[in-house]
């Protein structure tokens, strides 16, 4: 036990030393200015992305596979050419610079460790290529190894490491360079679920300590929400919304972001607004006071989070009588899945968002009717097939234009 | 060990013992067929000159003697030395250049790579005879006929298509992220090749060197045409021993055996490299 704490102290001291070194440098931000990418053959991977990452900020690029997030990251690294637009790192325009000229370090999904080098060689490679003197190199490699708990593995080859250890070596290789920007391309996706959660926390801690500007790519919205100070949602190469996780969750700008962020996903249903209320499946929910939708009638797509549904009580909140089809018990809460007597919302946007998390959404339910998920406390008595009343929180409704998918506010 | 006792837990067909026996008998018979020339080579080389005759070629010698090896060595030695001096640089340089070619064609793509690669491969299908005369003319102009330098150059160039193919095929199997990673770490094309790609490519290097060494060593035509007496390679020397009016079979066989040792040696020394998986651990899991 005492050995463990002394080890921890050493790691903390090493981290402090590194922090002090990094503190001497002015952190740099990244600025993408109307960046586009066309691949040969006409595929447009990135369309006019403008994004500013503040110095020291942790920004996550998230989106379903094929949305261009990795391409965008590789463009910042210089591994992919920009078709139009400019990229700045700090005050410098790096658009036409080679990767080795940009002061960035990258962690790859496959880790990409050099198989014929030891852990020491792997971590020190970037310094060696930059002609850092031998003694300084050794000192910095030791320091980083200590932070990441790799001291006893320094002379091993990657083949002799476990997945988690390889991941840490890949991190070490980036950290040791003390770059202006960290770029991470799904660095946790090859770890098992438990290790991923603990590495996620480690990453947040590490970013707090080192304060290096980080751009992180993932397809996992949970990872995005937990890691990012700001999250940029991409779809088909177009930036949808860049905001804090809270804002993305509570104020999505369109149907895609609403469907993509949050787990379980937001429930959607076609509804009608008329005379100050929105109605679907025989329920009328009065609009909140001052809603711009109040005058005039129209069709909308109504969205509500699984958490804005609750067990109906006698407080007069609008209620829906439903028949639970599936109950998923998670211990202290349960997901109750039921269908609603209203047409299902099936647009490109919701499909794209749901495909990305298909593992959560393999449902055996009627396809022509809307399916809702409610997140209820485990104390709620629920029986499959037995009708129950569910209350809807009128303050937490989202309205979208059925034609454009944009939010109506 | 295989056992047919009742306690055996192996999953196998009940015909398995017979199938295995038949399989090994067939394989053994084929090995014997392939080894017949080697048998004749060995026994003839060890026979007394008086015993050597085509009618008795299958017989074992009355007494085994290695004297013949000592007798042919002085005749063979200059050619042997020339061949070593020629085949070593020819195979190593050709493999290094092939590695650079293969790396660029597989991992450092440039516009037109898809045209260049087939053109290089095309070189494999040009027969020696077709270019023999222009080659000799050209090398004469360059003053490279007679010594070993011209021969080395020809073997380096003639080896490029196959070494390029070997290395390109190898490099396409390694992850692009490895190369990307080296770039981000600050290595340019040359340093990525030297520090990252080549160390992984040892198996390909072994294959290329074995191949190149063997083909340069075994070449007779270029050796005969491009060198003068002093620089004749071992194949020409061997031909001179075997090519007289009366063929001294025991000497020819002994010389052939000696001449084949280096290629066998290269295979034994380098063969183990491509038995090993050197990529293990580069990527996840």
What number is the ipTM of this complex? 0.83
A-side interface with B, Cβ within 8 Å? 74, 77-79, 98-100, 104-106, 108-117, 125-126, 129-130, 157-161, 163, 166, 173, 177, 183, 190
Nearest CB to B184 within list A105, A116, A160: A105
Please tell me which residue of chain A has the smallest CA distance to B198: A116
Min CA distance, B278 vs chain A (Å)?
Answer: 8
Q: Residue A77 is nearest to which of B184, B200, B278, comparing CB atoms?
A: B184
* Cβ contact B281–A160 (<8 Å): yes
Residue B24 shares a structural domain with residue B98:
no
Question: Cβ of B226: how many Cβ atoms within 10 Å?
Answer: 27
Chain A residues whose CB is inside 8 A of the B187 CB are 100, 125, 129
Q: Is B2 inside any structural domain?
A: no
Nearest CB to A99; choose among B183, B196, B282 = B183
Pick from B182, B184, B280: which is nearest to A159 by CB? B280
Cβ-based contacts of A161 with chain B (< 8 Å): 281
Asked whether residue B173 falls in the same domain as residue B263, the answer is: yes
Contact B281 A106 (CB under 8 A): no
In a domain, residue B11? The reply is no
- Scanning every residue of chain B, which has its alpha carbon at the shortest distance from the alpha carbon of A174? B185
A40 → chain B, closest CA residue:
B111
Q: Which two tokens stand for residue B224?
A: 């005969």
Beta-carbon separation of A77 and B199 below 8 A? no
Same domain, yes or no: B168 and B244: yes
The verdict on B76 and B215 lying in the same domain is: yes
List CB contacts of A115: < 8 A, sequence separation 6 or more. Answer: A157, A158, A159, B199, B200, B278, B279, B280, B281, B282
Query: CB–CB of B281 and A157 under 8 A?
Result: yes
Q: Select the residue of A100, A183, A190 nearest B183 (Cβ to Cβ).
A: A100
Nearest to B199 by CA among B99, B89, B65: B99
3-state secondary structure of B282: coil
Q: To probe the interface with B, which of A115, A179, A186, A217 has the most B CB atoms within 10 Å?
A: A115
Per-residue pLDDT of chain B (285 residues; tens, 9 = 90+): 444 556 678 888 888 889 999 999 999 999 999 999 999 988 988 888 878 887 888 888 888 888 888 888 998 899 999 999 999 999 999 999 999 999 999 998 888 888 999 999 998 888 888 899 999 999 999 998 888 999 999 999 999 999 999 999 889 988 899 999 999 999 989 999 999 999 988 888 888 998 899 999 999 999 999 998 888 999 998 888 887 777 788 888 899 999 999 998 988 888 776 555 444 434 433
Q: Are residues B74 and B44 in the same domain?
A: no
What pLDDT shows up at residue A133? Answer: 95
Closest CA to A122 of A173, A182, A184: A173
**Which domains can be identified in chain A, with CATH numbers?**
2-250 (3.40.50.300), 255-400 (no CATH)
| Domains identified in chain B, total number | 2
> Do residues B50 and B113 both lie within one domain?
no
- Quick check: is B1 in a domain? no
Containing structural domain, residue B40: 16-56
Using CB atoms, which residue from A104, A111, A159 is nearest to B184?
A: A104
Domain check: are B191 and B271 in the same one?
yes
- The CATH number given to whatever domain includes residue B185 is 1.10.3720.10
Report the pLDDT value the prediction gives residue A359, as an integer from 0 to 100: 47
Structural domain includes residue B285: no
- Same domain assignment for residues B30 and B160: no
Q: Do B284 and A74 touch (CB under 8 A)?
A: no
At which residue do the structure tokens 């092939």 appear? B98
| pLDDT at res. A250 | 94
CA distance to A112, B51, B85, B242, per residue, from B238 (Å):
51, 22, 17, 6
- Same domain flag for B184 and B105: yes
Q: Does B104 share its domain with B223?
A: yes
Say if the Cβ atoms of B200 and A108 lie within 8 Å.
Answer: no
Q: Which two tokens stand for residue A127?
A: 């310094």
Same domain, B257 and B184: yes
* B103 plus B156 within the same structural domain: yes
B248 C-beta neighbours (distance < 10 Å), count: 17
Structural domain includes residue B9: no
Confirm whether B188 is domain-assigned. Answer: yes
> What pLDDT does A252 receive?
95
As a whole number of Å, the end-to-end CA separation of chain B is 32
Quick check: is B65 in a domain? no
Distance in angstroms (rounded) separating the CA atoms of residues A241 and A175: 29
- Residue-level pLDDT, tens digit, chain A, 409 residues: 444 556 666 677 777 777 766 666 677 899 999 999 998 888 889 999 999 999 999 999 999 888 899 999 999 999 999 999 999 999 899 999 999 899 999 999 999 999 999 999 999 999 999 999 999 999 999 999 998 889 999 999 999 999 899 999 999 999 999 899 999 999 998 888 888 998 899 899 989 988 899 999 999 989 999 999 999 999 999 999 999 999 999 999 999 999 999 888 899 999 999 888 898 888 889 888 777 787 778 899 999 999 999 988 877 778 888 999 889 998 899 999 998 888 888 888 887 777 655 544 445 445 678 889 999 998 888 889 899 999 998 889 999 999 999 998 7
Residues with Cβ within 8 Å of B272's Cβ and at least 6 positions away in sequence, in order, are none
């Amino acid at each position: 036990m005492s050995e463990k704490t002394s080890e921890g102290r050493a790691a903390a001291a090493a981290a402090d030393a590194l922090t002090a070194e990094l503190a001497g440098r002015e952190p740099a931000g990244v600025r993408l200015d109307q960046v586009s990418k066309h691949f040969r053959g006409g595929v447009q991977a990135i369309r006019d992305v403008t994004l500013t990452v503040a110095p020291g900020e942790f920004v996550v690029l998230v989106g379903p596979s094929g949305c261009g997030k990795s391409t965008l990251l590789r463009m910042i690294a210089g591994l992919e050419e920009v078709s139009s637009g400019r990229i700045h790192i700090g005050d410098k325009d790096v658009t036409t610079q080679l990767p080795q000229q940009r002061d960035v370090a990258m962690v790859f999904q496959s880790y990409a460790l050099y198989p014929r080098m030891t852990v020491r060689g792997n971590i020190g490679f970037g310094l060696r290529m930059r002609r850092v003197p031998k003694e300084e190199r050794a000192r910095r490699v030791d320091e980083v190894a200590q932070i990441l708990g790799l001291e006893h593995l320094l002379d091993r080859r990657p083949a002799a490491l476990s997945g988690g250890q390889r991941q840490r070596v890949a991190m070490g290789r980036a950290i040791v360079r003390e770059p202006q920007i960290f770029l991470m391309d799904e660095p946790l996706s090859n770890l098992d679920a438990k290790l991923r959660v603990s590495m996620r926390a480690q990453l947040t801690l590490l970013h707090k300590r080192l304060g290096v500007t980080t751009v992180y790519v993932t397809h996992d919205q949970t990872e995005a929400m937990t890691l990012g100070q700001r999250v940029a949602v991409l779809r088909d190469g177009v930036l949808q919304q860049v905001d804090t996780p809270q804002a993305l969750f509570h104020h999505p700008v369109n149907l895609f972001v609403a469907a993509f962020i949050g787990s379980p996903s937001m429930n959607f249903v076609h509804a009608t607004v008329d005379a100050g209320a929105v109605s679907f499946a025989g329920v009328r929910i009065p609009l909140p006071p001052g809603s711009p939708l109040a005058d005039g009638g129209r069709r909308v797509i109504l969205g509500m989070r699984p958490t804005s549904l609750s067990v109906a009580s006698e407080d007069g909140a609008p209620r829906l009588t439903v028949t639970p089809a599936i109950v998923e018990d998670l211990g202290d809460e349960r997901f109750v899945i039921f269908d609603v007597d209203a047409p299902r919302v099936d647009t490109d946007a919701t499909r794209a968002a749901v495909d990305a998390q298909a593992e959560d959404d393999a449902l055996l339910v009627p396809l022509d009717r809307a399916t809702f998920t409610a997140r209820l406390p485990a104390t709620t008595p629920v029986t499959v097939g037995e009708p129950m009343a569910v209350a809807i929180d009128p303050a937490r409704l989202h309205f979208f234009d059925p034609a454009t998918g944009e939010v109506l506010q | 060990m295989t056992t047919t006792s009742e306690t055996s837990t192996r999953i196998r067909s009940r015909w398995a013992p017979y199938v295995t026996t038949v399989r090994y008998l067939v394989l053994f018979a084929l090995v014997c067929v392939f080894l017949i020339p080697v048998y004749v080579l060995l026994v003839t080389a060890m026979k007394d000159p008086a015993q050597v005759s085509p009618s008795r070629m299958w017989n074992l010698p009355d007494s085994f003697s290695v004297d013949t090896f000592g007798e042919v060595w002085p005749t063979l030695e200059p050619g042997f030395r020339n061949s070593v001096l020629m085949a070593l640089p020819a195979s190593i340089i050709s493999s290094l250049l092939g590695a650079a070619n293969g790396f660029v064609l597989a991992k450092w793509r440039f516009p037109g790579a898809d045209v260049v690669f087939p053109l290089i491969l095309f070189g494999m299908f040009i027969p020696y005879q077709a270019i023999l005369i222009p080659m000799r003319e050209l090398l004469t102009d360059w003053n490279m006929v007679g010594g070993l330098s011209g021969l080395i150059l020809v073997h380096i160039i003639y080896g490029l298509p196959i070494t390029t193919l070997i290395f390109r095929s190898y490099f396409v199997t390694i992850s692009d992220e490895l190369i990307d990673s080296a770039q981000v770490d600050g290595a340019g094309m040359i340093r990525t090749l030297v520090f990252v790609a080549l160390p992984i490519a040892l198996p390909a290097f072994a294959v290329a060197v074995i191949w190149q060494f063997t083909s340069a060593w075994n070449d007779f035509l270029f050796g005969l045409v491009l060198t003068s007496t002093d620089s004749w390679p071992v194949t020409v020397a061997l031909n001179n021993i075997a090519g007289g009016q009366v063929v001294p079979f025991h000497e020819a066989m002994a010389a052939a055996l000696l001449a084949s040792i280096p290629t066998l040696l290269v295979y034994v020394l380098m063969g183990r490299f491509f038995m090993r998986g050197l990529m293990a651990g580069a990527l996840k899991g």
